[in-house]
Structure 1
Amino acid sequence: MSTDFQQARIALGARLRELRTEAGLTVRGLAAECGWAPSKISKLENGKQTATPADVEAWAAGVGRPESAAELKGRLAGLESTYRSWRRQLAGGHRGVQDALGAQHERTRVFRGFTASVVPGVFQTPEYARSVLSRYAELHGAARDVEAGVTSRLRRQEGLYVHGKKYRVLMGESALHARICSSSVLADQLDRLMSVNGLSTVELGIIPLSADVRIAAGDDFWIHDDRLVIAESWHAEMWLDSPEDVALYSKVWAALDAGAVRCRTAHQVIARARAALIRS
């Protein structure tokens, strides 16, 4: 969880506490009004739990200030603009998530990305993308509109053929072997990866399993120009735009980049993974 997000959650909690105390309610008193356990009130006020829109509506009604719900929802929306829960995002379907990323791709000229164990979406075949999105939808219990998500994801690949854009992408070698799809789909995906490696807009680096690395691989992330970082974890996506965060991720990318191989050597690493599929 990002420091910025946690600070915003604590600030929201302080405002919730202020509304409760102004109403002359105890923790137990407000819990009774809302039909919650007192522990939920404490967690929300102390920034230990993220409120939902329904939570802040109930809070506003419980303290006798229903008009404050709009303010609280605004604060919550600002918080979620940094820290975006996959569960909440996918509740509205895959297309919205992919379209939001697509809007950022249209704005960006230079991408610096890292993926540890999956081929990046901008290089994915339709079948590989379908498999990836389906697996994550299953994880989060949100199987709606996978096909619409695939279509939106593939639309971003148009940027690969736009003059002036640059995709500087790092991948862990394990991504070439991960069976998140069938072996035939993975084979086609590796063929696709070898073909995009020759594009003038693409600078692909593979970090071999045997590489000496300056830093251990962590979560996947993308740096959009020098203005925005979109980082992924199992439970959320973080959109970070502070200069400090962008500088940190740029430093991480550079450290990972030091262990990567490129051009013909990268092609050979991909080809070996492709040959291993045939033997298996």
Structure 2
Amino acid sequence: MPSYQSSAVQTARRAVADRLREVRLDAGLTGQELAVRCGWNKSKSSRIENARTPPSDSDIHKWCAACDASPQAADIIAASRSAESMYIEWRRLQRTGLRRLQESRRPLYERTRNFRGYGSHVIPGLFQTFAYARALLISIGRFHGTSDDAEQAAEARVARSRLLSEGGRRYAVLVEESVLRYQIGDSVVMAGQLGHLLSVMSLPSVSLGVIPFGAAERSMWTLEAFSIFDEQRVHVELLTAQITVTAPGEIALYAKAFAELRELAVYGPEARTLIVAAIDALS
């Protein structure tokens, strides 16, 4: 895992490691004795207990069986899977195809009432056109070497945008002005995408802010793209992985960052002027 990782992931992994250590101690076994019963090197037991190596489901089954504690295996496996789901490499998320990944996220968006999103490099997914999403997903699929289903994935992504017109939800999205200038697809695709932004920002459920290049007194650096789903979780997008943040303290920090970035943004006519300028620049 890269040096950047959520402390929630570390805490969850540490909790699994501690539970396995307790199981061993309750059984009265040393690390060496456990390793012999499990049929692996003592160093592996040490790495697992010190949360340096995440245990597999099989490792946990063997560990608990060796300690005559097999009934505890199911709960520990569930906790381990939960910890690992907080940090998932894109190659794992995309292994069944980009379309399925997009479809799997729909329930989360459907149950979210207050969505906040920040885009530092691309237009956030809910505001993407089919052509823009398709061009972007083709690039992502090519880079990560995933299956060639970008068109179907783009359709699934754009289908979520219908939620923008349904009542009972609020969408606040911020983008850096540079996002309006980074060309995804050709100039026709970008012109269509920027024109779509002008339409989307008129929806009553939507607040779209653009952070200008010359935003004064910027108190923080450009962050990685992130999405806040109510007060329940945050998705952070890195080059190699998606991080899911669920710790309340960390969610609060992302909410604070969003609030500060929001103060830098312009809205309404000023935002429209920046979008129109980006469209004009395409020619």
TM bucket by the smaller chain? 0.7 to 0.9
226-235 vs 187-196, greater mean Cα deviation: 226-235
CA distances 1:165-195 after superposition (whole Å, capped 9, x unpaired): 2211100111111133223222221121122
Q: Does 1:56 align with 2:60?
A: no
Q: Does 1:251 align with 2:270?
A: no
183-192 vs 229-238, greater mean Cα deviation: 229-238
Shift of the 63–164 alpha-carbon distance from structure 1 to 2, 3 Å rule, reads closer
Q: Does 1:99 align with 2:100?
A: no
- 2:225 is matched with 220
Give the residue type in structure 2 aligned to 1:57.
S
Identity value in percent: 34
Deviation at 1:27, TM superposition (A): 9.8
Secondary structure of the 2:204 match is coil
- 1:268 is matched with 273
Matched-pair contact (CA < 8 Å) for 1:190–1:274: yes
Give the residue type in structure 2 aligned to 1:131.
A
Deviation at 1:6, TM superposition (A): 0.3
Matched-pair contact (CA < 8 Å) for 1:117–1:178: yes
Secondary structure of the 1:252 match is helix
Matched-pair contact (CA < 8 Å) for 1:228–1:240: yes
214-223 vs 263-272, greater mean Cα deviation: 214-223
Counterpart Cα distance in 2 of 1:192 and 1:224 = 23
Deviation at 1:161, TM superposition (A): 1.0
Counterpart Cα distance in 1 of 2:111 and 2:232 = 11
Secondary structure of the 1:210 match is coil
Q: Does 1:26 align with 2:32?
A: yes
- 1:200 is matched with 204
Secondary structure of the 1:95 match is helix
Matched-pair contact (CA < 8 Å) for 1:27–1:42: no
RMSD: 2.9
- 1:178 is matched with 182
Counterpart Cα distance in 2 of 1:27 and 1:220 = 47
- 2:130 is matched with 126
Structure 1 residues without counterparts, runs of 5 or longer: none
Secondary structure of the 2:167 match is coil
CA distances 1:261-280 after superposition (whole Å, capped 9, x unpaired): 111111111111111111xx
Deviation at 1:209, TM superposition (A): 1.3
Matched-pair contact (CA < 8 Å) for 2:31–2:45: no
113-122 vs 215-224, greater mean Cα deviation: 215-224
Q: Does 1:76 align with 2:77?
A: no
Matched-pair contact (CA < 8 Å) for 1:98–1:149: yes
Matched-pair contact (CA < 8 Å) for 2:34–2:63: no
Give the residue type in structure 1 aligned to 2:262.
D
CA distances 1:187-209 after superposition (whole Å, capped 9, x unpaired): 22112112212222211100011
Matched-pair contact (CA < 8 Å) for 1:220–1:232: yes
Matched-pair contact (CA < 8 Å) for 1:117–1:173: no
- 2:241 is matched with 236
209-218 vs 75-84, greater mean Cα deviation: 75-84
CA distances 1:90-133 after superposition (whole Å, capped 9, x unpaired): 22332343233211211122221111010111111112112222
